[in-house]
A and B are shown apart, each in its own frame.
Chain A
């Protein structure tokens, strides 16, 4: 089996070959000619059902433990969200929102597990200038290869979800890996494995969509008419999806973008600017060199020197006369 089908089961006991290797790359940052992969892995996805989340933060703990990160101890400022934001040491974060539903006047406590969405069309990868610092595997996982990262922060500008964080210690970008190192060995992501209510589930993207359909049908039957799947087409769909009970207004879940897409500014920067800019500079340089070699230079003539001598002499005479 090329991709794990669930996060719940224990890992296979028989030895297996790591299945996320160079030959499984479909995109590689700052690399134009990437050989096509010789196989297609089954696309995977993580499905986060916000209606089943109890806000326990087991996912955060599991993430910290598996990735061996050490988020700073921060101060409690009166909200449940902790730490205050995603950091280079906290790849996933439960964002808590107290929202009053205008239709029912009920307070709804919305909890969204934030983190990398693993876009099919990743803005971070598009913006990245360093070859191989960001890669996308054929199973849909977008991963940062830290040894190639130069710390420029372009990925931050490319991302429509505000996910990557640059470490002030080693100046490299960090984010959720979708536990690529676990998935490569047949295991689901640590957060999904730890989730006590199965609000986070993992499997093939097709299976997750089917599962989402069941959940949405259930939510609709319980009065959430706008329940739906968040798999935004603006970024080609994502490999982390949400079941939202209010899918008509994703922004109420701690500013989840309603219609995320790569910023037009980034598209212009990484598109027309890059190509026409390079061409203009190359042509100008080549033209200057060619014209310099073969064109006629503007030379000072001997009579110019004579005229200058004469001018200076006359000026001297004038001064001596005065």
Chain B
């Protein structure tokens, strides 16, 4: 069998019963939650400076001056943690032919008719879209963010560049927040998904229903823990 991008070191079937499937190891989960915490803090502090009606959110950070000071540093932490995550997962998120099929049948996806869809590997096209979208906007945000980081880079670039950067930063922030809402919503709507990022595993049924190709591949390679 050719080497698959979909199978990662910690992906293992646990016999159970009931059958569970390891999806994320402790390192990845910790990293995911560091990234998630940073994103939420950035969202709150950033929105406080985006619209006057949300300025009260600066109180969460100890006032406007502290919010202004903290926001970029949280961004740096998010950038680092996300790109560790990125390095580990990008291969599994490379697009393939099944993705085009999945997108063309988006109606079946939304209506929960997964039996009509082709078998999916570790990630479906929607998950890949979120992955690459996050990666793209995080790069745009860190670059534009550094340009407008007044404390250290205030005059490092010409004023026209800084004006474009501040607009780009705002627009990208809005788009990444929309992506974030989609990500959280999809994780909750697809019941049984959250435990992949808390306990690190999903039920066998979840893997069968949503990522059957991945499950079959694990089984076919004998990535099965001995019965307990």
Contacts and interface: CB of A to CB of B under 8 A. Distances in A.
A190 B150 CA distance: 31
B190 A298 contact: yes
Interface stretch (B3-11, B27-35, B215-223): B215-223
Chain B facing A: main interface SS = helix
Given A32-B52, A269-B166, A273-B167, A304 B177 contact: no
A156 B167 contact: no
A273 B68 contact: no
A83 interface: no
Q: Of residues B51, B67, B160, B166, which shows the largest number of chain A Cβ atoms within 10 Å of its Cβ?
A: B166
B208 A157 contact: no
A152 interface: yes
A210 B222 CA distance: 93
Interface-centre pick from A263, A278, A305 (highest chain B CB count, 10 A): A305
Contacts of A284: 177-178, 181-182
Interface stretch (B14-22, B75-83, B96-104, B133-141): B14-22
Interface in B12-69: 13, 15-19, 48-53, 55, 58, 63-65, 67-69
B50 A274 contact: yes
Contacts of B184: 288
A115 interface: no
Nearest to A299: B191
Nearest to A295: B189
Most interface-central of A148, A171, A312, A319 (chain B CB within 10 A): A312
A311 B189 contact: no
14 contacts: A129-B55, A152-B150, A166-B154, A281-B181, A284-B181, A297-B190, A299-B191, A300-B191, A300-B206, A304-B206, A304-B208, A308-B215, A312-B19, A319-B222
Given A269-B163, A312-B219, 10 more contacts: A156-B150, A171-B69, A263-B163, A269-B170, A280-B178, A284-B177, A291-B185, A297-B190, A300-B209, A305-B18
Interface of A: 30-32, 129-131, 148-154, 156-157, 162, 166, 168, 171, 263, 265-266, 268-269, 273-274, 277-278, 280-281, 284-285, 288, 291-292, 295-302, 304-309, 311-312, 314-316, 319
Interface of B: 13, 15-19, 48-53, 55, 58, 63-65, 67-69, 112, 114, 148, 150-151, 154, 159-160, 162-164, 166-167, 170-171, 173-174, 177-178, 181-182, 184-185, 188-192, 203-209, 215-216, 219-220, 222, 224
